[in-house]
Amino acid sequence: MGLLKSSEITKTFIDLDEALEWVENQIIKDFNIEEDYQKPLELEEFEALAGRKESTIMDFKMHIKELSFKDKESIFLASDFSNDLYFIRKGVVKIVLPLKHGQTLNVSSLGRGAFFGEFSFLDNIPRSAHAIASGDVELYVLTREDFDNFTSNHKISAIMSLRGLVRALVWRLRNTNAQLGSLNEF
């Protein structure tokens, strides 16, 4: 009594992270999700800037940079010191936690429209995880210094942006709590 028909192909994986990555890639392929992600987002399309005046967005554009990364290229590594906040215009970024003996844990895969790097952006402490490009990635980058300069003229937009960061952090923390709670089931 087998779980597979004799004509089906089985696939084995080294670890759970490799299996999850394969499943994510299959879902993207099967549902043609990649087509939706071909065009890079413009700055005003990010939720953090939704509803802002055109003049505010134009001023914000003066404070950001654009960067590109190739597949498997490191955007930053754990213990790097930088306080940049990254907005994903195009592609997928994997957030990976380094473990003992060279092992890693894939914390999350973030796609177009998401942001990352918020911990160091907010607390000015070195990075706690690696950020690795999964395929070609295009980003907007905002340094803490540039954000502070922007906020001197746009206080309401700054407050709204920080509220958005806090909401996202709360959602991510709740998700982490749920994942940790599910470990009890094993």
Q: Which residue has the higher pLDDT, 71 or 44?
A: 71
Structural domain contains residue 186: no
Residue 42 lies in a domain: yes
- 31 φ, ψ to 5°? -105, 10
Counting the structural domains of the chain, the total is 1
The answer to whether residue 8 sits within a structural domain is no
Identify whether 120 is part of a domain. Answer: yes
Predicted model pTM: 0.77
Which range has highest mean pLDDT (10-19, 80-89, 94-103, 158-167)? 80-89
What are the angstrom distances between the C-alpha of 6 and each of 1, 3, 10, 26?
A: 11, 9, 10, 22
Q: Say if 33 falls within a structural domain.
A: yes
Residue 58 counted as domain residue:
yes
Read off the pLDDT band of 138 (50, 70, 90).
very high
What would the pLDDT profile of 148-177 be if each residue is shown by its tens digit?
999 888 888 778 788 878 888 888 788 878
Domain assignment present for 157: yes
Tell me which residue range forms the domain holding 104.
16-177
The reply to whether 182 falls in a domain is no
CATH for 69: 2.60.120.10
